[in-house]
Every structure is written in C-alpha cells, then in structure tokens.
Structure 1
Amino acid sequence: MSLHTSNPRSAPRVVVLSGPTAVGKTTVVKRLRAAHPELWISVSTTTRPARPREVDGQHYHFVDDATFDRMVEQDAFLEWAVVHREARYGTPRAPVEAALAEGRSVLLEIDLQGARQVRETVPDALYVFLAPPSWEEMVRRLVGRGTESEAERERRLATAREELAAESEFDVTLVNTEVEEVCRKLVDLMSSPHLTHTSGSPSTRPEA
C-alpha cells in the first residue's frame, strides 16, 4: 500500500521525530508510550546489542547481521541506515502500513539518514527536529548516561554535529528543555489532522 497521506482531513498522519544523539528522543518516546498508549509508535530494528534494561520488542527489535540482511533483501524496511558509523537501524514497513490502514497516526523516531529516506516515500509527513537546549547540555547528557565507551562517544558527537546542521530540513523544531512539554506538543501534532507540513512553524530556540 502507499504511505502517501495527501488528504489530512480524512487520513491518519505520519510524524517523523529525529535529532542528534543524546538529545533525549528515547526518553521522550518512553514517556509518550507510558502516558498515551493510544498512540502508535514504531519500534525500530537494530543490529547493536541491547543495553542494560532494554527489552527486545519494546525498545528495539534486536537482530543479528544475517537477519538484518534478509530483511533488506525482502524490502521489509521503510528506511534503514548505518548509524554512528557502526550498527544498522531500520523501520519495519509492515507494522507502519497496518497502523495507517487502521486509521491510526504514526510516530517514527529515527535518525537523520532515515528521515531523509522516509521523505522520499512520505513527502507529506510532518518532520519534527528534536534539538538540545545547547551543545554543552547534549554532551553532558551523553557522558552522564554512561552507556558508551569514550571512542563511541566521540563517534556519536561527530555524527551529532552533522545532524544539528540539518535542522533546517525539518518542518518543526522542538527544543528538549522539558520532556513533558515536548510530549504534549508531539501529541498535539499527531492529533491535529489540519496541520500540514507547510503550515507548521519552527519553535523559537532559547539563547544558548
């Protein structure tokens, strides 16, 4: 089926959430799932190992390289990419198509490469950039969570510089100063069928 949703008055909407590493995308999505179980949020597939307390099928679908290769060959991904020059991540296509067919709006939490790929398939989706309050705060969050080695942190920060430079490609920017406020705005975006990607306006970024 096509993922095109050209009539926002009758069709469910696709909202794509992206942003740099350690900006808090996972935290936002976790809070959304807990507070709004009625929302449909895609679960990505990845080849990276699970971190402590991550649950397969809830946080990610964890697979090996051979399984990921088969899924690529079968065109099972809406998008996929190598992230942070290491592991691969992808958005399974079938669950997204099924949710849209049921009339449910969909939230995709994906990286910049994935967002660019999805734009080719779903040009009328709403593209939301989650930005940190400042570069220093983003580095503090990355170091503070303690889930990456020093070498991996450096890789992620190098990627983050590229991702921050792409903010202008998105329709709306939400600055992640307060998770609850970001969640409220995302719920509004997912439940407002009359707001299209051409009428959304970026938020005003606070001074760093």
Structure 2
Amino acid sequence: MLFLLSGPSGVGKGTVRKALFKKEPHKLLYSISATTRKPRRGEVDGRDYFFTTKSKFEEMINAGQMLEYAQYVDNYYGTPKNWIDDQREQGNDVFMEIEVNGAMQVRAKVPDAILIFLLPPDLMQLRNRLELRGTESDEVIDERLKTARQEILMMTNYDYAVVNDKVDRAVKKVQTIIDAERLKAKRLANGYMKILEV
C-alpha cells in the first residue's frame, strides 16, 4: 500500500512521521525523494534523497517518471514513480510525507493510495508553531496561513483526517488508520484466493 501524510506547512507532518517511525514494528518504508539541490553535510544519496541534475530531473518529468514534483528556489523536489512501484510490487508498504499539491498529484496517478490529512487544532496554534520556528518573517507567516486555509478546504479529497493536538495522540490515530487498511477484506482476499486456488 501507499500511505501519504499531508497537510499545511507547520502542522507537524515531519514530527508525526518521525514519531511513527520510532514505534516498532511499523513495517513501513519511507519514500525517498529526488532533488536537484546539492547534498548537505551528512546526507547520503539513496538514503536521504536521490540527488540528480536538473536536466535529468526534467527528463524524468517529461517521461512521466515522477509521481509528484514541485520546484522551490530553482531546485526540483519530487518522488520517482519507479521506486514506489518497485517497493509496492515487492509487497512493501510505503509512507510518504508531502505537501498538499503533491498529494493531489499522487491522488490522480495512484487512485488506491491512502491519503491522510493532518490538521492543526486551530489556525492560531498553527500560527504559533510557525512563529516558534523563528525562521520566517510575519509577512511569510501570514502568506503560509492564507495558503493553509485554502489547503484545509481540500481536506475532502483525502481518505482520513487527523488533528495534531498532541503528537502521541496523532501518531496513534495514524497507526490505527494503517492497521485498519491492512485488515480490509479486499486486501486479504488475494492471498486467500491463491491458497484456495480459486
């Protein structure tokens, strides 16, 4: 299966994903993105990102080999479709953490992906989280909140919604969604059809 965690900037996607992956056994593979930016100190190709050139990335876009992608500050970031397809064919469940626009690209290309929308308890708490980062001006934060309002309206395109009021509680809800999806009869049926030789 392909699980996708998405939501507005500052909602805590990375924090929830990291906490989920610390729980054992989670049996999930974290999706590795490709990027055209240079590796930062300590980053390893094929573990942190697939580092590539701009021309190669654009070739992959034109060949339909990117599941989703975006451009930020003159660099591309995106998910190679072949890597996701290979992992799923091997029976691995893959977990992605991406922005809302990327999630909508995935929804269009992988209809059976399970999309989880992470919500802030309210917009004031989202503002507080963005301010606590200390990395952006008030104008940038205002713009992010404006975008967040628009993204929250897109929540109905997702399969599930989880409020991130406390990280542990949000992680438990995401894990519950994963467990429930793994127990769906239609997913188990294929294995049993082979056993019964139907």
Amino acid corresponding to residue 176 of structure 2 in structure 1: D
Matches within 5 A, 1:120-135: 120-135=108-123
Instruction: Supply the distance in 1 between the matched residues of 2:13 and 2:155 (Cα, whole angstroms).
Output: 15
Structure 1: give runs of 5+ residues left out of the alignment: 1-12, 197-208
Matches within 5 A, 1:48-63: 55=43, 60-61=49-50
Whether contact under 8 Å (2:27, 2:93) holds in the other structure is no
TM-score, normalising length from structure 1?
0.72
Tell me which stretches of 4 or more aligned residues in structure 1 moved more than 6 Å: 48-51
2: CA distance, partners of 1:176 / 1:38: 22
Change (3 A) 1:63 1:162: farther
Q: TM-score, normalised by structure 2?
A: 0.75
Aligned partner of 1:138 among 100, 108, 126: 126
Verify: 1:71 aligned to 2:71, yes or no: no
Higher Rg: 2
Please report the RMSD computed on the Cα atoms of aligned residues, expressed in angstroms: 3.0
Find the residue that maps to 1:166 and give its secondary structure. helix
CA distance in 1, matches of 2:14, 2:74: 19
Matched, 1:182 2:167: no
Is the Cα contact below 8 Å between 1:15 and 1:128 reproduced in 2? yes
Is contact 2:32-2:79 (8 Å) kept? yes
Counting only pairs closer than 5 Å after superposition, residues 97-176 of structure 1 correspond to structure 2 as 97-176=85-164
Give 1:14 deviation, angstroms: 1.7
Render the CA deviation track for 1:48-79: whole Å, top value 9, x for unaligned.
6888x984555555656445324323433111
In structure 2, the gaps of 5 or more residues are 186-198
Is the helix fraction higher in 1 or 2? 2
**SS state of the match for residue 161, structure 2?**
strand
Q: Given residue 72 of structure 1, which amino acid in structure 2 is its aligned partner?
A: I
Equivalent residues, number? 182
State, as a whole percentage, how many aligned pairs show the same letter. Answer: 36
